[in-house]
């Protein structure tokens, strides 16, 4: 009885088909190999067509979804794996895959793998357990093993999709089945060519699927982004979490007065070499009705002395020794005397017109609870990082924000809106994801608007706070914030009001 069906698409001459077949043949259980010859002009005398160890099918498909569905219908095995080119099975740990499927709830299995670069250097790539992640960038590796019954019961893959067929299928089934991670290498991925990676550029990206990790969506083609947005919106609608109501206005009574227009809150820990420059950039701007609140979380490098040396009464230092970034932010917001809260990281920069532009926008858009500008990336010497361009986050809307990793910078809030939502969640997102969680909350009641101008400069360097965060914590904190938002939005829609 065939247990596993391996489907191999043959796209071009030179593909390492023989190596793939040999690696599969060493598996310790019954299996079959189905090879789809997708080449335009295959050699009629090709040895593969007469290989007794494979089922050879000369057939081309319009896209991967059609190939996956065709292979699933032909497969005799209970479990199906569709192998991309340059993948070789490591047979020793595949019994773990078989054991995972003994649980009838398990429908999809994925595992770690060994990456072999063009110099034949091996590197074991460890993936993380799946926790109902709803973004397309959570890495499940280069292929998955599917239970055939689950594929058939859910009509397989949507052949209208050219970029997101597996993501769409996952969203359709993941709430009712198990997606299991095998903590062992199941295959080798062979990289044929060298790939230059700019270290400064790589530090931008959060963990996740794609060449640029968690922020790969910033570099999608327009066609790809639209398709993935559509798939995700359909998921939210099925879930009852898609928002379509009109947002409210932020109103003020005559008794609500403020000592200044803007309070700039800067949480800081050991940033002596940046903080004076960061503050001076604000002081040199075109807008003057502000205060700067620096909340020091226990610096030991002379940061506090740098702040105190700035001779301007608008600059204030709070010596806090707090437990996390969210705590420091909340401390600064509570102390703030301005109508608006403008966030500024201690190693980043405003432009000359940042505050003037943001205040003007907020004053003329009463439904906007949070305004966010474009930003660019700079290196340790304040020079633009080549190849990145302006980061605009034009993929943002209040529904799509649940799959992308953020809305961007600069973040400019009404203080009363932050207070309304209980400030930042120190308990669950103390050192990462606190801002993402807040953006999600605000977007459910008020507008989160884009100011179409570069008003923030985001510095990348080896000591960036977010670079130092454990990658798994970053992935799971974002996912937990999404799950919280899904539940809130379901309740909003059920109640019919906000």
Q: Are residues 188 and 287 in the same domain?
A: no
Position 232 in a domain: no
Position 235 in a domain: no
Per-residue pLDDT at 89: 95
Please list, residue by residue across 314-341, b when 16 or more beta carbons sit within 10 angstroms of its beta carbon and e when fewer do. Answer: bbbbbebebebbbbbbbbbbeebebbbb
Q: Are residues 296 and 442 in the same domain?
A: yes
Position 214 in a domain: no
Question: End of a domain among 195, 217, 240?
Answer: 195
Per-residue pLDDT at 323: 83
Q: Are residues 160 and 290 in the same domain?
A: no
Q: Are residues 281 and 179 in the same domain?
A: no
Q: Are residues 176 and 306 in the same domain?
A: no
**CATH number of the domain within which 38 lies:** 3.90.550.10
Position 203 in a domain: no
Burial degree of 277 (CB within 10 A; 0-12, 13-18, 19+): middle
Question: End of a domain among 166, 195, 224?
Answer: 195
Per-residue pLDDT at 207: 44
Could you list the residue range(s) of the whole structural domain that residue 401 is in?
260-495
Q: Are residues 160 and 86 in the same domain?
A: yes
Q: Which two tokens stand for residue 332?
A: 């600064």
Q: Are residues 183 and 299 in the same domain?
A: no
Please list, residue by residue across 396-407, b when 16 or more beta carbons sit within 10 angstroms of its beta carbon and e when fewer do. Answer: bbbbbbbbbbbb
Position 246 in a domain: no
Q: Are residues 178 and 291 in the same domain?
A: no
Task: Write the CB contacts of 38 (distance below 8 Å, at least 6 apart in sequence).
Answer: 9, 10, 11, 59, 60, 61, 67
Question: End of a domain among 170, 195, 220?
Answer: 195
Position 225 in a domain: no
pLDDT per residue of the chain (498 residues) written in tens, 0 to 9 = 899 999 999 998 888 899 999 999 999 899 999 999 998 876 655 778 888 889 999 999 999 999 999 999 999 999 999 999 999 999 999 999 999 999 999 999 999 999 998 778 999 999 999 999 999 999 999 999 999 999 999 999 999 999 999 999 999 999 999 999 999 999 999 876 544 444 444 434 344 555 445 556 677 899 999 999 999 999 999 999 999 999 999 999 999 999 999 999 999 999 999 999 999 999 999 999 999 999 999 899 999 999 999 999 999 999 988 789 999 999 999 999 999 999 999 999 999 999 999 999 999 999 999 999 999 999 888 888 877 788 888 888 999 999 998 888 899 999 999 999 999 999 999 999 999 999 999 999 999 999 999 999 998 876 655 555 678 888 899 999 999 999 999 999 998 754
Q: Are residues 265 and 154 in the same domain?
A: no
392: helix, strand or coil? coil
Q: Is the C-alpha dihedral spanning 388, 389, 394, 398 positive or negative?
A: positive
Residues in the chain: 498
Position 174 in a domain: yes
Integer angstrom CA distances of residue 386 from 198, 377, 389 = 9, 9, 7
Number of domains the chain is built from: 2
Position 231 in a domain: no
Q: Are residues 318 and 447 in the same domain?
A: yes
């Amino acid at each position: 009885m065939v247990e596993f069906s391996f489907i191999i698409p043959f796209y071009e001459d030179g593909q390492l088909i023989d190596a793939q077949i040999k690696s599969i043949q060493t598996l310790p259980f019954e299996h079959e190999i189905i090879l789809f010859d997708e080449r335009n002009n295959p050699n009629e005398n090709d040895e593969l067509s007469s290989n007794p160890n494979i089922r050879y099918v000369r057939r081309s498909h319009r896209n991967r979804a059609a190939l996956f569905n065709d292979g699933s219908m032909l497969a005799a095995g209970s479990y199906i794996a569709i192998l991309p080119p340059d993948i070789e099975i490591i047979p020793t740990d595949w019994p773990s895959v078989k054991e995972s499927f003994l649980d009838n709830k398990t429908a999809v299995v994925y595992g770690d793998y060994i990456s072999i670069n063009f110099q034949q250097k091996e590197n074991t790539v460890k993936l993380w357990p799946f926790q109902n992640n709803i973004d397309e960038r959570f890495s499940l590796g280069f292929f998955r093993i599917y239970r055939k019954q689950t594929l058939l019961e859910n009509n397989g893959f949507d052949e209208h999709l050219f970029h997101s067929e597996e993501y769409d299928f996952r969203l359709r089934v993941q709430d009712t089945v198990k997606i299991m991670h095998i903590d062992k290498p199941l295959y080798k991925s062979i990289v044929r060519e060298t790939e230059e990676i700019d270290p400064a550029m790589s530090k931008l990206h959060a963990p996740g699927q794609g060449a640029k990790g968690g922020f790969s969506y910033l570099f999608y083609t327009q066609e790809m982004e639209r398709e993935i947005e559509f798939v995700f919106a359909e998921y939210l609608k099925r879930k009852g979490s898609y928002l379509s109501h009109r947002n409210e206005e932020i109103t003020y009574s005559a008794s609500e007065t403020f000592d200044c227009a803007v309070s700039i809150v800067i949480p800081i820990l050991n940033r002596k070499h940046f903080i004076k420059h960061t503050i001076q950039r604000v002081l040199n701007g075109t807008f003057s009705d502000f205060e700067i609140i620096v909340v020091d979380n226990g610096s030991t490098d002379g940061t506090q002395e740098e702040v105190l040396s700035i001779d301007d009464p608008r600059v204030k230092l709070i010596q806090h020794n707090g437990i996390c970034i969210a705590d420091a932010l909340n401390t600064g917001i509570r102390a703030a005397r301005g109508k608006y809260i403008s966030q500024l990281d201690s190693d980043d920069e405003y432009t000359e017109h940042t505050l003037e532009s943001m205040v003007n926008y907020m004053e003329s858009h009463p439904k906007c609870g949070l305004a966010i500008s474009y930003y660019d990336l700079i290196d340790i010497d304040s020079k633009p990082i080549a190849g990145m361009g302006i980061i605009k986050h034009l993929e943002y809307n209040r529904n799509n924000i649940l799959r992308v990793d953020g809305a961007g910078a600069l973040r400019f809030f009404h203080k009363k809106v932050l207070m309304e939502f209980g400030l930042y969640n120190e308990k669950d997102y103390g050192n990462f994801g606190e801002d993402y969680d807040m953006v999600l909350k605000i977007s459910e009641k008020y507008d989160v608007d884009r100011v179409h101008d570069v008003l923030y400069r985001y510095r990348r360097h080896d000591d960036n706070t977010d670079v130092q965060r454990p990658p798994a914590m970053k992935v799971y904190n974002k996912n937990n914030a999404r799950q919280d938002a899904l539940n809130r939005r379901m309740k909003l829609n059920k109640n019919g009001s906000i």
